[in-house]
C-alpha cells in the first residue's frame, strides 16, 4: 500500500474542529512502515489529539532523529514543518528550535535506539533543561531499520527473533526522565489509544519537558514468543496506573468518576487533568513515590502505564534563560543591534 498516494478527496461532511480543520487536515503521507506497526497507531493518536485540541497544524514543529520511529513525523501533520535530523540528536535540534521561537508546539519523536543508546546524553540533557516539548519515545526494544538487533531498552533475558538472549540491563527511560528533571512523565502502549490520546493532550498542555514512553511493538522483528515488547506480552503484563481524561480549560468537566475516586490537576493554561486514583491522591505529584511505584512493578515484571508524574507548575527553558516574550526569531535590527554610537563608546574603552 505504501506506493499509493493518499487521495486528497475529503468527504464534504467531515466534522471541523473549532479552528476549522477536519481530521484529514492533520494527516500526512502514507506510512512506509510495516503493516501492523505500533508506530502507526501512535501517529493516529497524535492526529486525533491535535484535532481534538484544536491545534492549528502550522503551529506545530515536529522533529525526529533517525530510525523507524523517526520516519513517522512524515505520516501525520502534513502541513506542519518537520525535521528529520541526525541519529540520537533530535533533542538538541528541538532545543535550538525552541530557543528560536517559543510560540510553536514542539513534538519530538524518537525511538529506543535513538534515545536510549546513541542519544542517551541528549535525551537526558533536554529533560534537565526543561525544554517545553512533548517528547514521545516509540519504544519497541529493537533496531528495526537495521533489521532486528537488540536496543538498550530490551529487557534482560528477552529473546531476539533469531534466538539470541539479551544479557544487558535495560535502560528504563521513564525512570531516567524522572531523575533528569522531566516534569511530565508517562508511559503508554500503542495498542491503548483510549489511554494514549488523553496523555498526549495533557502533555501538549503541560509547560515544560513532557515525556511519554510508548511501548510500540515491532511486528517484524520483536513480536515473537520470548520478546517482552510484543503485543501479547504487553497485554498480559500491563498494569494501568491510572485512567485519565484531559479537559480543556473552557470545557465543563464531564468525566464520570465516583466521588472520591478521582483526582484533579489544573495545568498552567487552566485545563484540568482528571485521573483515577488507583495510586492514591497525590502519588502522581510525588517524584519519590513515582520512582518507587515504577521500580516495585518492574521487579515484578509488570509494566505500569499511565501518567506517572506531573509537576503542574513547572518552568521551562525560556523562563530559565529569562528571554523576552516575543519569539527571538522575530527580533529585528532595532532590538538586536546596539548601534554605532554605543560602538564608539566601546572603542573608547579599549584605548
Sites of contact with other proteins (CB under 8 A): 29, 56-59, 61, 63, 73-74, 78-86, 89, 91-101, 103-104, 121-122, 125, 129, 317-318, 321-325, 328-329, 331-333, 335-340, 342-343, 346-347, 350-351
Strand 272-276, strand 262-266: pairing? antiparallel
Between 279 and 318, CB nearer to other proteins? 318
Beta carbon of residue 20, minimum distance to other proteins (angstroms, whole number): 9
Specify the residue for cell string 492514591.
280
Beta carbon of residue 327, minimum distance to other proteins (angstroms, whole number): 8
3-state secondary structure of 306: strand
Between 97 and 136, CB nearer to other proteins? 97
CA distance 68 to 73: 10
Other CB atoms within 10 A of residue 205 CB: 24
Between 235 and 320, CB nearer to other proteins? 320
Beta carbon of residue 91, minimum distance to other proteins (angstroms, whole number): 8
Query: Residue 136 gets which letter from DSSP?
Result: E
Beta carbon of residue 240, minimum distance to other proteins (angstroms, whole number): 34
List residues bridging with 274 in a β-sheet: 245, 264
Beta carbon of residue 102, minimum distance to other proteins (angstroms, whole number): 9
Between 269 and 335, CB nearer to other proteins? 335
Beta carbon of residue 284, minimum distance to other proteins (angstroms, whole number): 29
Between 165 and 337, CB nearer to other proteins? 337
Beta carbon of residue 14, minimum distance to other proteins (angstroms, whole number): 16
The closest of 296, 72, 306, 275 to 188, measured between CA atoms, is 306
The closest of 143, 83, 140 to 108, measured between CA atoms, is 83
What distances in angstroms separate CA 38 from CA 210, 218, 265, 308, 347, one per listed residue? 21, 7, 30, 22, 62
**Order of strands across the sheet with 262-266?**
244-247, 272-276, 262-266
Beta carbon of residue 347, minimum distance to other proteins (angstroms, whole number): 4
In contact, 129 and 197? CB cutoff 8 Å? no
In contact, 214 and 137? CB cutoff 8 Å? yes
Between 13 and 347, CB nearer to other proteins? 347
Phi-psi region of 122 (alpha: psi -120 to 50; beta: other; left: phi over 0): alpha
Query: Residue 72 gets which letter from DSSP?
Result: G
Amino acid at each position: 500500500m505504501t506506493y499509493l498516494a493518499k487521495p486528497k478527496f475529503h468527504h464534504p461532511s467531515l466534522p471541523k474542529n473549532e479552528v476549522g480543520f477536519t481530521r484529514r487536515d492533520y494527516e500526512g503521507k502514507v506510512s512506509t512502515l510495516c503493516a501492523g506497526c505500533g508506530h502507526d497507531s501512535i501517529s493516529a493518536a497524535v492526529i486525533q489529539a491535535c484535532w481534538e485540541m484544536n491545534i492549528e497544524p502550522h503551529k506545530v514543529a515536529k522533529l525526529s532523529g533517525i530510525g523507524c520511529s523517526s520516519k513517522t513525523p512524515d505520516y501525520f501533520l502534513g502541513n506542519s514543518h518537520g525535521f528529520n535530523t541526525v541519529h540520537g540528536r533530535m533533542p538538541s535540534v528541538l532545543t535550538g528550535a525552541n530557543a528560536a521561537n517559543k510560540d510553536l508546539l514542539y513534538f519530538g519523536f524518537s525511538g529506543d535506539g535513538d534515545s536510549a543508546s546513541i542519544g542517551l546524553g541528549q535525551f537526558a540533557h533536554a529533560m534537565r533543561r526543561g525544554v517545553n516539548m512533548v517528547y514521545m519515545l516509540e519504544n519497541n526494544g529493537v533496531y528495526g531499520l537495521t533489521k532486528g538487533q537488540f536496543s538498550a531498552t530490551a529487557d534482560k533475558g528477552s529473546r531476539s527473533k533469531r534466538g539470541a538472549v539479551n544479557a544487558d540491563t535495560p535502560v528504563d527511560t521513564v525512570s531516567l526522565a524522572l531523575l533528569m528533571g522531566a516534569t511530565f512523565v508517562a508511559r503508554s502502549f500503542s495498542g491503548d489509544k483510549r489511554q494514549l490520546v488523553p496523555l498526549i493532550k495533557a502533555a501538549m498542555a503541560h509547560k515544560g519537558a513532557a515525556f511519554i514512553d510508548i511501548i510500540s511493538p515491532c511486528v517484524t522483528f520483536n513480536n515473537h514468543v520470548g520478546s517482552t515488547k510484543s503485543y501479547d506480552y504487553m497485554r498480559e503484563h500491563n498494569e494501568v496506573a491510572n485512567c485519565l481524561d484531559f479537559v480543556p480549560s473552557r470545557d465543563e468537566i464531564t468525566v464520570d468518576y465516583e466521588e472520591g475516586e478521582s483526582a484533579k490537576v489544573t495545568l498552567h493554561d487552566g485545563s484540568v487533568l482528571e485521573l483515577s486514583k488507583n495510586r492514591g491522591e497525590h502519588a502522581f505529584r510525588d517524584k519519590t513515590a513515582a520512582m518507587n511505584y515504577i521500580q516495585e512493578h518492574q521487579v515484578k515484571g509488570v509494566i505500569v502505564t499511565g501518567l506517572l508524574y506531573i509537576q503542574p507548575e513547572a518552568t521551562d527553558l525560556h523562563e530559565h534563560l529569562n528571554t523576552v516574550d516575543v519569539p527571538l526569531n522575530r527580533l529585528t535590527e532595532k532590538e538586536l543591534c546596539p548601534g554605532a554610537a554605543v560602538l564608539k563608546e566601546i572603542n573608547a574603552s579599549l584605548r
